């Protein structure tokens, strides 16, 4: 038989076994095949201008290997800070504040330039209406408001910081903030002299003091239960009063309140009529002359014996609340800043008669305290959620037939107390 693998002679002339010869032959064929492949690749490279593209290995990559996500399906959240109010000066419910004191608000971080401006911060005096002034501290964590002119002695000053207050990143306060303080009155012996003529009004049932003609002193307005008008007496500046100005209404009234409802810088009037179950609003032209608008007759529940105003929804204007005695309700009218109101109703205990608004729970909004004029005689506290919606019904026992209520910090501990005048009990609680 012919040997397909001839024996190769080693240098020592010894012959190799047949298996070794076969292995060497296979190596030669593989080498020859590799040489042919290299020649083919070189030819392709020359035809392509010296460039060649090698197929990428499935294991080779220019990008680093990706790591598995710890929480598949969840994206990383960017933490956004929410600014808060951290300081108030004057402090909440403080009494005897200097009449020329600025209002200083401290935030948890630097705020946008628009925060220190009338767009975000509103200051109202209970007798002088919304106050104009100068802002400073734009772009910092401290915003200061210096009012034009002093607050009146004993005036309650309300400060609203709205959600237009934003940090540099555009994040607003989580909710608006409302608080108040009282301007100082000069030391005096508290001896009182009757300067208002006894003939004022016709069966006057309630009185409110405010600067209606803008001359810097406190005038008075009377609600008349015996005539269809309000009586305004203008102060001469020395505690004497000029002749009466009668503000016509469709019916008699039992309660009166004053504030700048339409945002034009002067003090307007609101009065409740028990006979017509209506709330009347008369707007001021700035000189103490009052006009009438048909859309400012607001229907309420039966027997609205009391009306009171405060910024209930934290938007910087003055809203209104009134009782409805026979319905056991309080009617809340939130203002859009132009004197247009939206009505809501809240339960207010048995036979609600009088009410007031103050931040009783210290959370930065105005709550309601409503007297209940039939047994059990008590005051119902309705807590505000900050938007003008009221819930809860904390009750405090008082004397018999409470028909008037006033809120203030009587014990000087920084929170708001209240006092009631109890008609049948001949007492104050």
Residue 238 is predicted with a pLDDT of 87
pLDDT above 90: percentage of residues in the chain = 71
Residue 226 is predicted with a pLDDT of 95
Please give the residue that has the higher pLDDT: either 22 or 345.
Answer: 345
- Taking only the tens place, the pLDDT of each residue in 392-428 is 879 999 999 999 999 999 999 999 999 999 999 899 9
What pTM does this model have? Answer: 0.79
Residue 55 is predicted with a pLDDT of 43
Output the average pLDDT for the chain. Answer: 84
Task: Decide if 201 contacts 222 (C-beta within 8 A).
Answer: yes
Residue 194 is predicted with a pLDDT of 74
Residue 128 is predicted with a pLDDT of 95
Instruction: Say how far apart CA 153 and CA 353 lie, in whole Å.
Output: 29
Largest CA distance in the chain: 153
Q: Tokens standing for 252?
A: 């008699």
Instruction: Say how far apart CA 148 and CA 168 lie, in whole Å.
Output: 28
Residue 295: pLDDT over 80 = no
Residue 15 is predicted with a pLDDT of 47
Residue 161: pLDDT over 70 = yes
Q: Find the range with the poorest average confidence among 20-29, 38-47, 187-196.
A: 38-47
Domains in the chain, start-ordered, CATH in brackets?
A: 85-182 (2.60.40.3710), 198-297 (no CATH), 300-429 (2.130.10.10)
Residue 196 is predicted with a pLDDT of 66
- Taking only the tens place, the pLDDT of each residue in 162-179 is 999 999 999 999 999 999
Class of residue 62 by CB neighbours under 10 A (exposed 0-12, middle 13-18, buried 19+):
exposed
Residue 307: pLDDT over 80 = yes
User: Contacts from 298-303 at CB under 8 Å and sequence distance 24+?
Assistant: 298/333, 298/341, 298/343, 300/272, 300/324, 300/331, 300/343, 301/277, 301/326, 301/327, 301/329, 301/331, 301/345, 302/277, 302/326, 302/327, 303/274, 303/277
Please give the residue that has the higher pLDDT: either 142 or 55.
Answer: 142
Task: Decide if 378 contacts 189 (C-beta within 8 A).
Answer: no
What's the whole-number mean pLDDT along residues 214-235? 94
Residue 22: pLDDT over 70 = no
Instruction: Say how far apart CA 94 and CA 412 lie, in whole Å.
Output: 8
Residue 216 is predicted with a pLDDT of 92
Q: How far is CA 41 from the centre of its chain?
A: 77
Residue 293 is predicted with a pLDDT of 64
117 Cβ contact list (under 8 Å, min separation 6)? 135, 138
Residue 129: pLDDT over 50 = yes
Residue 285 is predicted with a pLDDT of 86
């Amino acid at each position: 038989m012919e040997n397909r693998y001839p024996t190769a002679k080693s240098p020592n002339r010894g012959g190799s076994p047949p298996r070794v010869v076969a292995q060497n032959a296979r190596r030669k064929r593989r080498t020859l095949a590799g040489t042919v492949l290299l020649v083919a690749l070189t030819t392709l490279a020359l035809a392509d201008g010296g460039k060649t593209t090698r197929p990428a290995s499935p294991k080779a990559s220019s990008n680093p290997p990706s790591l598995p996500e710890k929480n598949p399906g969840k994206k990383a959240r960017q933490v956004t800070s929410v600014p808060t109010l951290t300081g108030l000066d004057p402090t909440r419910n403080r009494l005897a504040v200097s009449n020329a004191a600025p209002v200083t608000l401290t935030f948890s971080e630097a705020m946008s330039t628009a925060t220190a401006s009338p767009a975000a911060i509103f200051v109202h005096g209970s007798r002088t209406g919304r106050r104009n002034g100068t802002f400073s501290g734009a772009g910092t964590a401290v915003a200061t408001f210096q009012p034009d002119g002093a607050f009146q002695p004993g005036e309650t000053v309300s400060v609203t910081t709205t959600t237009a207050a934003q940090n540099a990143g555009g994040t607003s306060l989580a909710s608006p903030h409302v608080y108040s303080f009282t301007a100082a009155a000069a030391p005096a012996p508290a001896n009182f002299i009757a300067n208002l003529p006894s003939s004022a009004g016709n069966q006057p049932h309630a009185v409110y003091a405010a600067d209606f003609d803008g001359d810097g002193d406190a005038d008075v307005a009377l609600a008349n239960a015996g005539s269809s008008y309000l009586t305004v007496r203008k102060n001469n500046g020395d505690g004497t009063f000029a002749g009466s100005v009668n503000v016509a209404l469709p019916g008699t009234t039992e309660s009166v309140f004053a504030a700048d409802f339409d945002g034009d810088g002067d003090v307007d009037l609101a009065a409740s009529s028990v006979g017509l179950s209506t709330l009347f609003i008369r707007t001021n032209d700035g000189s103490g002359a009052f006009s009438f608008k048909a859309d400012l007759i607001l229907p309420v529940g039966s027997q609205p014996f009391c009306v009171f105003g405060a910024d209930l929804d934290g938007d910087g204007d003055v809203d209104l609340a009134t009782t409805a005695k026979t319905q056991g309700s309080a009617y809340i009218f939130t203002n859009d800043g132009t004197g247009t109101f939206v009505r809501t109703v809240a339960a207010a205990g048995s036979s609600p008669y009088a009410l007031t608004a103050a931040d009783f729970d210290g959370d930065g909004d105005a709550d309601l305290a409503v007297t209940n004029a039939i047994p059990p005689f008590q005051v119902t506290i309705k807590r505000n959620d900050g938007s003008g919606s009221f819930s809860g019904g904390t009750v405090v026992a008082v004397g018999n037939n409470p028909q008037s209520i006033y809120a203030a910090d009587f014990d000087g501990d920084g929170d708001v107390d209240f006092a009631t005048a109890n008609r049948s009990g001949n007492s104050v609680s």
